[in-house]
Structure 1
């Protein structure tokens, strides 16, 4: 099994944690950019969450 396969397997098994991490990264990037790109960052985080595991698990 390649590293990429292992990473995909991990993401599939831990979708909620991955979604939470993406949310935290997005919030930090938003903060460091002075909230100038909030809409773009939110869209990027949402899209990344949709593409990992079972999708967006945020409430």
Structure 2
């Protein structure tokens, strides 16, 4: 199984109505906020704050795709 196969399966998985509903739930919002904050903080620390704006923009874009806010 190559990367293309994995990508196609992931896309199919994400199109499932149950998956979409779960990703837009309040629980997903809280969990994703914690994870995204941790990742953004680690990336900011690793880069010495040099890319803070880009990291914040990426975090905001990801947050729009997961959860309900």
TM > 0.5 between the two? Answer: yes
Q: So what's the TM-score if we normalise by structure 2?
A: 0.61
Which residue number in structure 1 is paired with residue 24 of structure 2? 12
Considering fraction of residues, name the structure with more helix.
2
Q: So what's the TM-score if we normalise by structure 1?
A: 0.69
Instruction: Provide runs of 4+ in structure 1 moved above 6 Å.
Output: none
Stretches of structure 2 lacking an aligned partner (at least 5 in a row): 1-11
Q: CA deviation at 1:9?
A: 5.0
Aligned residues: 54
Stretches of structure 1 lacking an aligned partner (at least 5 in a row): none
Deviations 1:3-54 (A, max 9, x none): 5447655433321111111011001001001110000000110111111121
Larger radius of gyration: 2
Alignment RMSD: 1.9
